[in-house]
Every structure is written in C-alpha cells, then in structure tokens.
C-alpha cells in the first residue's frame, strides 16, 4: 500500500514539473537561407544569427530564383534570401528585427536590407575597420511596397 502511494506522489510531482521543463528546452527558430556557395558575408550573417538564437539551414545554390519564388521584389534584393515562419528575410537584417517581426506578426512579405551596407550584420568584419554606414531595414508589405521598419544610423 505504501509503495502505491509513493508512486502516485512521484507521478503527481512529475506532472506538476512537466510544464516548466518544456519551457527549459526551447528549440531555436529555424531560418532557411539561400546563398552563393562562395559568399563570405552570407556565411558571416549565418554565424551571427546562430549566435543570436537562430538555427540556420544554408542552401548553396544562389538566391535569385528563391527571391522571385518567395515574392520579394527584385529592387530590394541582396546577396542572400532567407525564410522563417512564412516571412522572407532579404540581406543583412539584424536578428533583433527578425525577432521583432516574429513577435509582431505583421501582414507582410518580410524584411530586407537592400544591397550590402557596411556595418550591418555579416558586413562588419575586421576588413571594414569599424566602418558603419547608415541603413534602413524595410518592411515589405503584401502589396510590395516598403516602409522603414528600423533605421540604423
């Protein structure tokens, strides 16, 4: 009789702890990135995202076709295209803005940092000697129109 009561207590205790344990093992969000196999700044951006809480799956086939397929207007293009939770992430977008996008969930195609501004994540290596050019992170609406999501000065 005593062992049955001990088993019940242990099971009850385990059931009480189960919800808190599930929060402790949170998976990193997966972001899939299409890039050129030879692009160093794309690799640097992927490493930056990994350090900032994302899991990056890199596909080395180039990104032009995927940018078009995912609906990111070509004029907002950059050297890599990524996708996370249905959003397109084009270019050197900071992790902070991707996390904000995922939290706010706007109706949009996604975010872009057009071109390759020096000082943006992945374009901030020692070869740039600390240089930081101003740039905007753009939110591209479902209609393809941009709005400034965050300015970096």
Averaged pLDDT for residues 69-79: 96
Mean pLDDT score of the chain, rounded to an integer? 89
The predicted model gives 123-137 an average pLDDT of 96
Alpha-carbon span 20 to 54, nearest angstrom: 22
Q: How confident is the model at residue 3 (pLDDT cuts 50, 70, 90)?
A: low
Instruction: Return the pLDDT at 106.
Output: 98
């Amino acid at each position: 009789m005593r062992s049955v009561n001990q088993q019940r207590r242990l099971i009850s205790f385990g059931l009480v702890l189960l919800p808190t344990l599930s929060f402790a093992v949170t998976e990193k969000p997966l972001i899939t990135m299409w890039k050129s196999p030879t692009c160093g700044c794309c690799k640097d951006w992927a490493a930056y995202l990994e350090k900032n809480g994302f899991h990056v799956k890199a596909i080395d086939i180039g990104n032009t076709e995927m940018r078009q397929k995912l609906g990111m207007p070509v004029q907002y293009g950059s050297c890599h295209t990524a996708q996370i939770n249905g959003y397109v992430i084009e270019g050197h977008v900071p992790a902070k803005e991707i996390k904000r996008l995922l939290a706010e969930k706007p109706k949009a195609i996604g975010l872009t940092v057009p071109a390759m501004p020096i000082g943006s994540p992945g374009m901030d290596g020692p070869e740039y000697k600390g240089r930081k050019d101003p740039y905007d992170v753009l939110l591209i609406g479902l209609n393809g129109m941009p709005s400034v999501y965050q300015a970096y000065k």
